Chain A
Amino acid sequence: MMSARHSTGRSIAAHGILILYTLIALFPVFVIVINSFKSRRAIFADPLALPSAETFDMIGYQTVLKQGDFFQYFLNSMTVTVGSLFFVLLFGAMAAFALSEYRFRGNSLMGLYLALGIMIPIRLGTVAILQMMVASGLVNTLTALILVYTAQGLPLAVFILSEFMRSVSADLKDAGRIDGLSEYRIFFRLVLPLVRPAMATVAVFTMIPIWNDLWFPLILAPSEETKTITLGSQVFIGQFVTNWNAVLAALGLAIVPVLVLYLIFSRQLIRGITAGAVK
């Protein structure tokens, strides 16, 4: 009985600390969201108050949606993120499969070569990347961003996924081979579905920096048609710095998609990390 009471006290303390930290983590988001629904005067009069019947106002959202460009930025970000994610996962899984499944000369050297990029940030090559994109006419295209982010995401993807694919039972793959499946089918039909948790982990850690990146959109694709939402809202804040409603609404909207993407993948996230790389 002693230990039961002891653990109740401890768990209350644990909850207390976690709740406190949760409040710290969410407080700024809360500030943005509540104020984005308030009238301009109420934002300044009492920034911490919830919107009430008198102070509730959607003017910010109306302004943002009427500006129109915002929707374009949104779409650009979606295209870039989903496109890069697709290529990172596909190419990364293929390379990881080759590295973990087959013994060939230069296998571990290739693994090391691909892993280098985990430690060395791609940004340091920006000077030459820009020159290359200018030379190939890809500046101010979403393709340039997708290419860069694919290259950026691949090292970690290969690293995590190959750890995982080593744990897929060899018997299963051999059974597939005896049944006459080609190596490609073994990869797509048998192995890929089994490493889904790892794919989710890779997806989260690839997606977040892409969605939030300011550096490459600023340098490679700053034109109006190719702006991402991160760059778009940065500019928006500058232009409309007096229109608080619009700025807050824009930021509120910018949170939604990445939150949704995160929630989609996060269920598998912990399973993925636990079983995989960090052990």
Chain B
Amino acid sequence: MAQRQPFRWHIAVFLAPAVLVYTAIMIVPLIGTLNLSLFNLEDGNRIFVGLGNFATLFGDPRWSEAFWNALGNNAWFFLVHMLVQNPIGVALAALLSSPRLRGAAFYRTAIFIPTILSFVIVGFVWKLILSPIWGIAPGMLDAVGLKSLFAPWLGKEEYALTTLALISVWQFVGIPMMLIYAALLSIPDEVIEAAEMDGVTGWSQFWKIKLPLILPSIGIISILTFVGNFNAFDLIYVSQGALAGPNFSTDILGTFLYRTFFGFQLQLGDPHMGATIATAMFGIILVGVCLYLFAIQTRLRRYQF
């Protein structure tokens, strides 16, 4: 009597639009880009060069210098976010979630507002604030007697990248704050009550009870930060231009990819080297995500309810 179940069309209907759009616009181009990195143009003909482009990217001094510079800058950009943005986000979330705090919704919205602003606005207004000519920052430092500390931070090679990273931190601190806040709210009341019965309150409650429970969320935030940072482009582009000045000191993989692929002022666009850089970025992000999934996330599981 075992009848074959009829084909359930509705499942296909529900899945089809998402799968089609996603596959056609995301997966296929991604594979296409990876594929493109294996070819090069010679005398107008497309020829297969295998990993030759990668050898050029990592080995040829004309390319490798820019690549390693961009990669190093990107790593620093990420490090600043991990050391500044995420701890501030967690601290703000911890304050917001303290019981009976009035106006939590207001603070939450206000602190999240920079996150919804476009990079164009963010880049421009910080350039304005930090500008030695317009001088809000020098003026303010002057008011507290610290004018000597002022420097044109965005214009100096040694400060520009860190300054931009901090601007980006300012903009995006709302995301870790929101996610950690939600994670803190979803800790069951019984756990907190039990802790209070045992006399664990205040800061020690945070460190001993809540922090271990939100570690999985912190893990997710770290990986989101990683993916976001190694894919960043806009802030550098709008505030320093595609040449990522001064003297490439703020060049990261995203701006390097843009210049290589589309060409900019001194160089012609090169789709094959562009694809090669995109593939290298893909590899870096993939390694990071896998490390996170296998090394960190699996170990954090045991803290979950």
List residues of chain A with CB under 8 Å of any chain B CB. Answer: 7, 10-11, 14-15, 17-19, 21-22, 24-26, 28-29, 31-32, 44, 47-48, 87, 90-92, 94-95, 97-99, 102, 104, 110, 114, 116-117, 119-129, 131-132, 147-148, 150-152, 154-155, 158, 182-184, 187, 208, 211-215, 219, 229-230, 233-234, 237, 247, 251, 254-255, 258-259, 262-263, 266, 269-270, 273-275, 278-279
Contacts and interface: CB of A to CB of B under 8 A. Distances in A.
Contacts of B18: 91-92, 94-95, 114, 154, 158
Given A104-B8, A125-B33, A233 B19 contact: no
Given A120-B30, A127-B36, A208 B21 contact: no
Given A117-B26, A183-B10, A258-B116, A215 B233 contact: yes
B294 to A, nearest CB: 13
A31 B128 contact: yes
Q: Is the interface of B mostly helix, strand, loop or mixed?
A: helix
A279 B33 contact: no
Contact of B122 (A28, A150, A215, A278): A28
Interface residues of B, number: 93
Contact of B120 (A29, A117, A127, A254): A254
B76 to A, nearest CB: 20
Contact of B129 (A31, A155, A263): A31
Contact of A154 (B21, B114, B174, B223): B21
A44 B185 contact: no
B55 to A, nearest CB: 19
Interface stretch (B41-49, B79-87, B90-98, B146-154): B90-98
Contacts of A127: 29, 32-33, 36, 261, 271, 274-275, 278
3 smallest beta-carbon distances between A and B, as pairs: A128-B32, A125-B29, A151-B25
7 contacts: A17-B95, A47-B128, A114-B22, A120-B227, A128-B30, A214-B238, A251-B124
B14 A148 contact: no
Contacts of A273: 178-179, 182
Contacts of B121: 32, 233, 251, 254-255
Contacts of B24: 151
Given A18-B96, A120-B285, A214 B119 contact: yes
Nearest to A213: B234
A230 B8 contact: no
Among A15, A26, A124, A215, max chain B CB count under 10 A is at A124
Contacts of A102: 8, 11
A150 B182 contact: no
Interface string B176-218: 0011011101100000000000000010000000000000110
A203 to B, nearest CB: 12
B30 A125 contact: yes
B126 to A, nearest CB: 7
A152 B29 CA distance: 12
B136 A214 contact: no
Given A208-B116, A258-B116, 11 more contacts: A17-B95, A102-B11, A114-B18, A120-B30, A120-B289, A124-B30, A147-B25, A151-B21, A270-B181, A270-B185, A273-B182
B262 interface: yes
A99 B304 CA distance: 23
Nearest to B238: A234
Contacts of A215: 233-234
B110 interface: yes
A18 B32 contact: no
A219 B262 contact: yes
A279 B8 contact: no
A91 B237 contact: no
B73 to A, nearest CB: 18
B275 A233 contact: no
Nearest to A274: B182
